[in-house]
Structure formats: structure tokens, C-alpha cells
């Protein structure tokens, strides 16, 4: 079980750029470099370390990522840190961010991005690695790298087009302009839009619903969807069948079917 001190940190690991709070079986991860929560190497390393640990804790069933304050989820990479890096150093930075994003995307538990303001550049790329994007009404999205003479280096050119389609992705990538929450919802970048005051309570409510689902089936569902998306149809269907078999072999499958027959609420054990 993860325990936290009054600041919401794990007592045996102090993070400087992120905060962790735990509500029952839900972990809430705060990006904590206010007011705009820019992403730097230290933040990526701390996120990478934390998500390794979240993967190991069986009692954590869902994760929320959000930003400290109400201005930004994450307003991109820390340009001041990046501007003097040479080509080799910036590639190393990209590798660190890429590994961190992969750990978030492939976490066996559902991850909700509670987007509380600007999600630009690397912040938008971080949101793309999450399973669900819950967005406050005043939030804005964008991949403005083209305006800096670069391109996204954390998966933006790839994950965005897979999520919203190539045509819309090219429009956002080529022009480098921001869109508001309503537009993000329209094109499928956001799942839901809510008032800022309702953002975290709604994210917690959604996370609680997800946390109630059977663990093995949720893990297999996420594996089938994520891995299958990048495969040809036959390979994806074979993967789905294997994941189905793993879920069917679980104790929770037996409990789920038995409770359905007996017309009662299932009591899932996580096995």
C-alpha cells in the first residue's frame, strides 16, 4: 500500500517536480512546477520512477495526472533548459521523455489526464499517452513546435494522428496554433469537458468507476486496444483472442458470471 505524508509524497521518496496523493485505491499525480508546469529532464525522470512504482502496487487501480494550479496542465517543455543543448544532448532528452511517455501509456491500469489549463507541446504529448482526457472549459491544446523551428519529439506527430486522424493532426501540427476545449472535444482530442471546479472531482469519480472493474480484464482490455491499434487486423484479432483467454482464466471472470446469474453485484478480488 502506498502511504503519503501531509504533502502527498511517498515518505521514502521525495520528488521535487511532482506530487503524489492517494485517495483509497486511486493515485493522483500532480505536475508541480507552477504556474505553467513546464516539463524538464528531472520531471521526466521523477515521473518515470513513480510510474515504475505505481505499476507494482496492486492496491492502486487507477491513476489521474493533473497540473498544480489552474493555469496549465503542462505548457510544454522547459525551453530555457533546452535551448542550449547540443544535438546529442537533446536526443538524450527526447529518449528520456519517450521512455516516460511509454511507461504511462503502457501502465496496466487506466490513466486519466485531468487537464486544468494549457496543454501545449510536451504537455499535449503527455495528455496523448493517457487513456482518457477530461478537460476544463478554459483549457487550450496545441503543438506549437513548428513556430520554434522544430517538430514534436515526444510522440506528437504519431499519437495525435492515430487519435484524431491524419487530416486534423496535420492541421494542428503544420500551423502550430492552439485550439480551445470545445474544439478539442469536437475532434476527439478530449473525452469530456467540465467546469474547472468540477474537474478533479469528476476525474476522481471516473477513476473510482474504473477502479471497480476486474483487474485482469482491465489489463487485458488495455493491452488489446493499445497493442492491437498498431497491428494489422489479423494480428490484432489474434492478440484480442489471447487477451480474452487470459481474462477468462481469471477468478474475477468466474465471479462476474456467477454474480450475473445470481443477479447480485460482483465482488471482484483482483485475481
Nearby residues of 12 by Cβ (< 8 Å), 6 or more positions away: none
CATH number of the domain residue 226 falls in:
1.10.12.10
Residue 267 lies in a domain: no
81 lies in the same domain as 180: yes
Q: At what angle do helices 215-229 and 251-261 cross, to 10 degrees?
A: 110
Query: What local confidence, expressed as pLDDT, does residue 85 receive?
Result: 80
From 16, 24, 89, 145, active-site residue: 145
Residue 11 lies in a domain: no
Are the C-beta atoms of 43 and 82 separated by less than 8 Å?
Answer: no
183 lies in the same domain as 95: yes
Report the number of distinct structural domains present in the chain.
2
85 lies in the same domain as 198: yes
42 lies in the same domain as 138: yes
120 lies in the same domain as 234: no
* Nine cell digits for residue 260: 450475473
Query: What local confidence, expressed as pLDDT, does residue 72 receive?
Result: 97
CATH number of the domain residue 114 falls in:
3.90.226.10
Q: How confident is the model at residue 13 (pLDDT cuts 50, 70, 90)?
A: low
106 lies in the same domain as 240: no
**Helices (DSSP H) in 7-78: which residue ranges?**
41-56
Question: Quick check: 80 pLDDT over 90?
Answer: no
Reported residue count of the chain is 271
* Tens-place pLDDT, residues 111-144: 999 999 999 999 999 999 999 999 999 999 999 9
**Cα R_g (the chain), whole angstroms:** 19
Residue 1 lies in a domain: no
* Tens-place pLDDT, residues 41-56: 999 999 999 999 999 9
222 lies in the same domain as 144: no
From 19, 46, 55, 125, active-site residue: 125
Instruction: Say how many Å lie between the first and final Cα of the chain, rounded.
Output: 17
91 lies in the same domain as 225: no
Q: What is the mean pLDDT of residues 253-269?
A: 90
189 lies in the same domain as 223: no
Q: What is the mean pLDDT of residues 103-116?
A: 98
Question: Quick check: 59 pLDDT over 90?
Answer: yes
Active site residue 89: no
Q: How confident is the model at residue 79 (pLDDT cuts 50, 70, 90)?
A: confident
137 lies in the same domain as 251: no
28 lies in the same domain as 134: yes
How would you classify the pairing of strands 62-67 and 26-31?
parallel
Query: What local confidence, expressed as pLDDT, does residue 230 receive?
Result: 87
Are the C-beta atoms of 15 and 66 separated by less than 8 Å?
Answer: no
| Integer CA distances (angstroms), 42 to 32, 177, 235, in order | 12, 28, 38
Question: Quick check: 27 pLDDT over 90?
Answer: yes
Domain boundary among 211, 226, 241: 211
Question: Quick check: 11 pLDDT over 70?
Answer: no
Indicate the average pLDDT of the chain.
92
For 24-38, 186-200, 257-271, which range has the lowest pLDDT when averaged over its residues? 257-271
Range of the domain at 257: 215-261
* Tens-place pLDDT, residues 132-182: 999 999 999 999 999 999 999 999 999 999 999 999 999 999 999 999 999
239 lies in the same domain as 166: no
Are the C-beta atoms of 66 and 19 separated by less than 8 Å?
Answer: no
Q: How many other C-beta atoms are found inside a 10 Å radius of the C-beta of residue 160?
A: 23
Amino acid at each position: 500500500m502506498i502511504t503519503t505524508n501531509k504533502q502527498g509524497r511517498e515518505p521514502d521518496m521525495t520528488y521535487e517536480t511532482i506530487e503524489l496523493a492517494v485517495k483509497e485505491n486511486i493515485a493522483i499525480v500532480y505536475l508541480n512546477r507552477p504556474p505553467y508546469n513546464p516539463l524538464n529532464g528531472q520531471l521526466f525522470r521523477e515521473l518515470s520512477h513513480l510510474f515504475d512504482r505505481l505499476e507494482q502496487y496492486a492496491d492502486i487501480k487507477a491513476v489521474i495526472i493533473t497540473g498544480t494550479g489552474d493555469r496549465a496542465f503542462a505548457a510544454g517543455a522547459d525551453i530555457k533548459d533546452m535551448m542550449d543543448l547540443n544535438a546529442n544532448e537533446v536526443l538524450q532528452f527526447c529518449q528520456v521523455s519517450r521512455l516516460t511517455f511509454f511507461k504511462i501509456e503502457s501502465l496496466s491500469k487506466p490513466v486519466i489526464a485531468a487537464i486544468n489549463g494549457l496543454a501545449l507541446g510536451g504537455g499535449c504529448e503527455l495528455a496523448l499517452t493517457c487513456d482518457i482526457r477530461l478537460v476544463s472549459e478554459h483549457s487550450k491544446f496545441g503543438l506549437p513546435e513548428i513556430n520554434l523551428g522544430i517538430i514534436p519529439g515526444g510522440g506528437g506527430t504519431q499519437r495525435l494522428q492515430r487519435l484524431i486522424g491524419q487530416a486534423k493532426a496535420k492541421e494542428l501540427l503544420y500551423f502550430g496554433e492552439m485550439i480551445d476545449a470545445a474544439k478539442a472535444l469536437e475532434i476527439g482530442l478530449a473525452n469530456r469537458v467540465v467546469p474547472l471546479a468540477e474537474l478533479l472531482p469528476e476525474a476522481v469519480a471516473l477513476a473510482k468507476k474504473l477502479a471497480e472493474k476486474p483487474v485482469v480484464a482491465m489489463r487485458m482490455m488495455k493491452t488489446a486496444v493499445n497493442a492491437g491499434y498498431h497491428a494489422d487486423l489479423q494480428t490484432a484479432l489474434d492478440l484480442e483472442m489471447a487477451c480474452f483467454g487470459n481474462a477468462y482464466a481469471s477468478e474475477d471472470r468466474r465471479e462476474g458470471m456467477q454474480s450475473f446469474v445470481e443477479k447480485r453485484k460482483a465482488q471482484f478480488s483482483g485475481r
